[in-house]
Chain A
Amino acid sequence: MSLRVYIARDTTAVAVGAERVAQRFEVEATQAELSYELVRNGSRGAFGLEPLLEVDSARGRVGFAAVTPEDIPEVIRCLKEGVFDHPKYVGLITEIPWLSNQTRVTFKRCGEGAPTDLKNYQRLGGYEGLKNALGLSSQAIVDEIKASGLRGRGGAAFPTGIKWQTVLDTDSDQKYIVCNADEGDSGTFADRLLMEGDPYQLIEGMTIAGVAVGATQGYIYLRSEYPRAQQMLEQAIDAAHAAGLLGQNILESTCSFDLEVRMGAGSYICGEETALLNSLEGKRGVVRAKPPLPAIEGLFGQPTVVNNVLTLASVTAILADGGADYAHYGVNRSKGTIPLQLAGNVKNGGLIEVPFGASLRSVIDEWGGGTRSGRPVRAVQIGGPLGAYLSNEQLDVTVDYEALAAAGGMLGHGGIVVFDDTVDMAKQAHFAMDFCAKESCGKCTPCRIGAVRGREVLDRVCESGATEDDLILLMDLCDTMEQASLCAMGGLTPLPVKSAVNNFPEDFDVAPENSEVAV
């Protein structure tokens, strides 16, 4: 009787040693004459538990958390004997509070089995959504998306149903589905986790999108820094093709959909949808002016749906269980669930999928467990490098697009980076301008020149403190960038800068010898 053992090959898991654990396991298990099957699954996103060694037991799926190669001989003894008395044993996965307290709709399959195992995907409910979609009219599919209240999970939070409706309504011989898998925000990893752990969900979601709007070709624009995701996606695409789930006449319908992965080349701005399209077309990755909207004139001038990985993945659940079901979760205008990515100076980082309306503080305290350093939380940046820094006092807000915006923050793609009280907010403000300067496409003046000037002002501030003139200049510059930039890169860089100045003024103390009277 063969034991099925699971060790993640996900990038984060490997970074904390999963590969060495797996190798040690194979050696030791062979030596111990243990009959086993080793499945390299995706990570469940509970990084505090990785490397997580799971096994199918009589009780169900159980696991050993934060395993090191040194632990392996003992773990194997437990497996052989069927006695789980190891200090790292954590019992049934389904009963681990860190995971079971979440509402895993999008990430329900991550970690369940081998990511490229199509049968497993289908056994766990995969492709139900597509089967339903093939039985509906295009408009009916779009209506279902509208009913779900799904909004773009990349960061802009635009209602997905409206976007698809626009593409559906625009006549053309050729339409495209483009998945924005250029997850560039520092501290975010949800897209990667999904692509490495449950690639078929993205494929199925894009196929449904193609059927809905009449697009026969899809591209996944994947950032070059995600080689493992590329591997998983390409293998999954091949398998889906072989099974008649991609290509001509999908599942014997009249619909066809082809899909390809295209790699980026190290540019944050190519996560902006129009720069992404330019890059896909083989041009320099600079931003295009809107109008025209990509939904009307996008890739190669054709109507194009550009959506984030999670948005497209969520579509599968919506078409499997209905839009109303999805809308059941969430609050106000933020429907469904959001996979938050908790990172930075935090004890238990990882992926936390909760319905909108959850308390931000509880996410950081209950799941995060406070800072890793043990020192107080001083600042939290939400929404990536273009998100605002909230002070500890401001964390009593619900996770909801509008609520966070009202609190001066931005939910964005759901990245949450925690800082303790050793953080220097002037340096963080400098980082914001520096990041913009480094990643700017260079097309528009406020960003191209503004970011460099902002960095220079903050160089001065970091070195010798801020004068009143410095602050006035910095705030004016922020206004210019916010109001005049061509895209959200330059447009949102002021958000972290202003929030740093406004919420942490003490870090921007006017240096006594430099102070000037404000006019």
Chain B
Amino acid sequence: MNSMVEFYQPQPDFGTPAVNAGEAVSLTIDGRVVSVPQGTSVMRAAFEAGIKVPKLCATDSLEAFGSCRVCLVHIEGRRGYPSSCTTPVEAGMTVTTQSDQLAKIRRGVMELYISDHPLDCLTCPTNGDCELQSTAGEVGLRDVRYGFAGENHTQLEKDESSPYFTFDSSKCIACSRCVRACEETQGTFALTISGRGFDSRVSVGPEANFLESDCVSCGACVAACPTATLTENSIIEKGIPEHSVTTTCAYCGVGCGFKAEMRGQEVVRMTPWKDGKANEGHACVKGRFAFGYSTHKDRMTEPMIRDSIDQPWKKVSWDEALTYAATRLRQIQEKFGQKSIGAISSSRCTNEEVWLVQKMVRTGFGNNNIDTCARVCHSPTGYGLKQTLGESAGTQDFASVADADVIVVMGANPTEAHPVFGSRLKRRLREGAHLIVIDPRRIELVGAPHVKSDLHLPVQPGANVALLNAIAHTVVDEGLMDADFVKARCEEMAFQRWLSFIQQPENAPEASEAYTGVHADDVRKAARLYATGGNAAIYYGLGVTEHSQGSTTVMAIANLAMLTGNIGRRGVGVNPLRGQNNVQGSCDMGSFPHELPGYRPVSDDTVRESFEGAWGVKLDAEPGHRIPNMFDEALSGGFKGLYCQGEDIAQSDPNTRHVEAALESMECLIVQDIFLNETAKFAHVFLPGSSFLEKDGTFTNAERRISRVRKAMEPLGGKADWEATLGLAQALGCDWDYESPEQIMAEIAALTPTFAGVTYEKLERLGSVQWPCVDAASEGTPTMHETSFTRGLGQFVVTEYVPTAERCTRRFPLIMTTGRILSQYNVGAQTRRTENSTWHAEDVLEIHPEDAESRGITEGDWVGIASRIGDTVLRARLSNRVRPGVVYTTFHHPVSGANVITTDNSDWATNCPEYKVTAVEAMRVSQPSEWQARQQSFDKKQKQLVEEAVVG
């Protein structure tokens, strides 16, 4: 199905926010009878009746402000001319929006505005897309009798510090939409109005410019600005878009809806989609501005092959590359066995594309050696929630946080890693909800503008389970559990077993203190708040899963939620913050060695037979290799061929040297990616991938929300990712015949019960759908487990604390933990190729001043970090965000080698690597490490081999 082209126009703006609940109120506007919920403004009621009241300071993402005085109306029985944006409707009201008197007033106001505004409309970047311009036209302004020689702001200098947008104060009409957007929508409070009266100007701080200020470059102010004052640089350069395509962001698991606004084949702006249910018109610096990577010069656009990795590449046609790959794979299977090849599907590619990869492995390779990056991030969520609740996914939608009274954030940093959700969270906190942060670091939520955690429990890395047990112990001990819920909804025996376990004295907060480092008092306070504070919701991330007890921790979280009855309605729940844009989808599509699509075991005959029936091929009943097993097997000689799609294991998986050795021992490594990533340097076949702008399909976000990805431009490499996989499968002899991703989705729906009702037609109509989408819930399921759990009754699982094998020793006395930051994304492949590097050009090591001082380390020093696995070098940044004894870094730049140091320790159930706990020592050094030197020279060499590529 071809993407629908929509002519570009600004998205409809109803003036003030929608009111969702409330009695219907009937009123008359310009003779028309309108009915809207109580609390709706007169302005919005008019818009909904098709009547546009002229406006400037009102926009429907922000609360009414009442400053422009253009939207005045006449209301029968009331004196004066109330502003329609600030006036709520009342039953029986009679409103007139146009009259001679109102026209005179509006012209009078506009005359004042234009007396202090540059008159260069025809050459202005927002000519044709400017609310000031349109409103002047709407009110019929003909004359500015004050002249233009009076006091004005038209000579003010521009602030061009940000790489992405310009702030031109000379065009500012002081409507405060940007200030309010930064407060209400984003929650960063970076903007204010400084000065009084006529001198009022938008300001980012006393001296600062946008770049140096608190601004996080989310673009909310730019979207809110009605004039050219805040405009994207891409628009200034290129002009107003002429058509747009609605799609979904390819960065994180929030899955913001965007309008890719284009001129011809070029995306000139990504505007957040107001009807996107995940983001409702908001975005972050990455999705909003960092889309340039898709046309970066580093884009690989030609298939390449080579026999060995020290040879130059040979550029070939698609057919030749695919035939070569297929031949090599079959050869390896002949030599080493059916199970000697496998694939890693991408959690960044679409559901349809991932479906094809796992299908190819199962029907083409004939084994179950398929895995995905969820292995290294949320696989414990999959396991843990399946065991306890019966479904490997979060239980709510993002909007649910607006109904939460107590919010627990554990091992996650939403304001940086899921920023648009972080903004929703902060809004709810500003309304008075309570916050408990469980994290070794003082993340931003602990104390940000107008947001403060009630409790911060700085748990020692590795002791999550001990802490959660202590909280549960307290809930039981102090009689705070929801006995009715447990009785009605959970398995009795499992609960009893768990109950006698949790009541043991070693689970008391006082006993756990020694392991967790958290005061017993605070644990008790947290337990009381969570159990009795109202609707309580838990949000967690990789600080929970990337541990040797990751799965146990997830189950402990589910236990707590069931224990207190905080499941099955809005405002509560267990919410894993999935990292990648389609990691949920990748898991749903069965990218697992042990599970077929829909999380059903390959060993289950009935399930397997249904697939065999549909696909016409006998399937392997034995689970295949997980990614860590693939590496082990590669080194021991049993695994020799790998199809790796959109996943950079050489940079993102732990124990880099182990991974590199494994890759080196492969006989056929096929990498499909948009850039020559670290893994590709070890590849024999390179297939150019397609970015999210270059294909149709769907992504599934952390809310289980399936949204459309729509093609905005032709794939630079000539094929969309699904077409490449299709080609490879066909080259392997699979008798496949897919014309479109829509067709693939039809197959997915037929074979995956939770997707049964999903069609592209429905997605077109509803915008998106949260699975389960079945007959009983044909428009999707926002809240899960409302009347019963997916597995029937909830299962309490005993969660005994087993400390990680990774201990601090005299040699390695510090614990290193890792995380994400706002501007760079994951391995940085995309964001490093955009202006986002302005904010984070290198990874640094955050170290507490005490630890730094005792080691003679000062700010900016090169620091060597060594673990029992390896060592690397980073620059030091002294920080109070970490407690003494803990250091922190990110892994956005390959040269940082963060994973050179991380260990093989992993979750007992899923092998999710224990990225969050590595015993290290840090010391001042004078230069980067040996590994880093080798990485840089290897990188240089491999890049050369691409440049030297001959055309075959």
Contacts and interface: CB of A to CB of B under 8 A. Distances in A.
A445 B87 CA distance: 19
Nearest to A478: B108
Contacts of B499: none
Interface string B891-921: 0000000000000000000000000000000
A440 B196 contact: yes
Contacts of A448: 174, 197-198, 200
B80 interface: yes
Contacts of A4: none
A92 interface: no
Contacts of A441: 196-197
Nearest to A450: B112
A172 interface: no
B640 to A, nearest CB: 67
B938 interface: no
Given A284-B192, A291-B87, A456 B108 contact: no
Interface in B169-196: 173-174, 176, 192-193, 195-196
Given A452-B150, A453-B146, A486-B69, A445 B113 contact: yes
Contacts of A483: 72, 80-81, 105
Nearest to A446: B69
A291 B88 contact: yes
Given A289-B66, A469-B145, A452 B193 contact: no
A74 to B, nearest CB: 52
B417 to A, nearest CB: 31
Interface string A124-168: 000000000000000000000000000000000000000000000
B113 A442 contact: no
Given A456-B146, A479-B108, A480-B108, A486 B198 contact: no
Interface of A, secondary structure class, is helix
Contacts, number: 103
A485 B69 contact: yes
A443 B87 CA distance: 18
Given A289-B64, A445-B67, A484 B105 contact: yes
Contacts of B200: 442-443, 448
A290 B199 CA distance: 24
Given A450-B112, A452-B151, A484 B146 contact: no
Interface residues of B, number: 38
A442 B193 contact: yes
A210 B81 CA distance: 34
B515 interface: no
Nearest to B145: A473
Contacts of A451: 197-198
A443 B112 contact: no
A486 B66 contact: yes
Nearest to B147: A456
Contacts of B88: 291
Nearest to B107: A480
Given A453-B115, A486-B67, A442 B146 contact: no
Contacts of B8: none
A448 B56 CA distance: 15
Contacts of A375: none
Nearest to B69: A484
Interface in A380-428: none
Interface string B77-92: 0001101001110000
B633 to A, nearest CB: 63
A469 B143 CA distance: 13
Nearest to A438: B197
B104 interface: yes
B65 interface: yes
A272 to B, nearest CB: 13
B193 A440 contact: no
A66 interface: no
Interface string A454-497: 00110000000000010001001101100111100000000000
Contacts of A444: 66-69
Contacts of A290: 86
A446 B67 contact: no
A450 B113 CA distance: 9
A401 B151 CA distance: 38
- Give the bracket for the number of chain A residues in contact with chain B: 35 or more
Interface string A279-300: 0000010100111000000000
Contacts of A511: none
Interface string A253-297: 000000000000001000000000000000010100111000000
A243 interface: no
A442 B198 contact: yes
Given A449-B115, A451-B197, A486-B69, A442 B174 contact: yes
Contacts of B192: 284
A446 B68 CA distance: 8
A501 B877 CA distance: 68
Contacts of B68: 444-445
Nearest to B112: A449
Contacts of A267: 196
B723 interface: no
A476 B108 CA distance: 7
B198 A449 contact: yes
A340 interface: no
A234 interface: no
A437 interface: yes
Contacts of B108: 446, 476-477, 479-480, 484
B615 to A, nearest CB: 61
Contacts of A443: 67, 176, 200
B113 A449 contact: yes
B546 interface: no
B193 A453 contact: no
A439 interface: yes
Contacts of A457: 146
A451 B81 CA distance: 20
B925 interface: no
Contacts of A485: 69
B713 interface: no
Interface string B104-118: 110011011101100
Nearest to B116: A449
A196 B811 CA distance: 72
Given A456-B146, A486-B66, A439 B112 contact: no
B67 A291 contact: no
A485 B199 CA distance: 18
Given A284-B193, A437-B198, A456-B151, A484 B81 contact: yes
B198 A452 contact: yes
Given A284-B192, A480-B108, A289 B83 contact: yes
Contacts of A484: 69, 72, 81, 105, 108-109
B859 to A, nearest CB: 33
Contacts of B86: 289-291
Contacts of B145: 469, 473
Nearest to B194: A284
A439 B198 CA distance: 10
A514 to B, nearest CB: 15
A483 B72 CA distance: 9
Nearest to B104: A479
A439 to B, nearest CB: 7
B139 to A, nearest CB: 12
Contacts of A477: 108
Given A445-B70, A480-B105, 10 more contacts: A437-B198, A442-B199, A443-B200, A444-B68, A451-B198, A456-B150, A479-B104, A483-B72, A483-B80, A486-B66
8 contacts: A289-B83, A291-B88, A443-B176, A445-B109, A452-B197, A484-B105, A484-B109, A486-B67
List 10 A-B pairs, minimum CB-CB distance, nearest first: A289-B66, A480-B108, A442-B200, A440-B197, A289-B86, A449-B112, A484-B69, A442-B197, A456-B150, A443-B67
Interface of B: 64-70, 72, 80-81, 83, 86-88, 104-105, 108-109, 111-113, 115-116, 145-146, 150-151, 173-174, 176, 192-193, 195-200
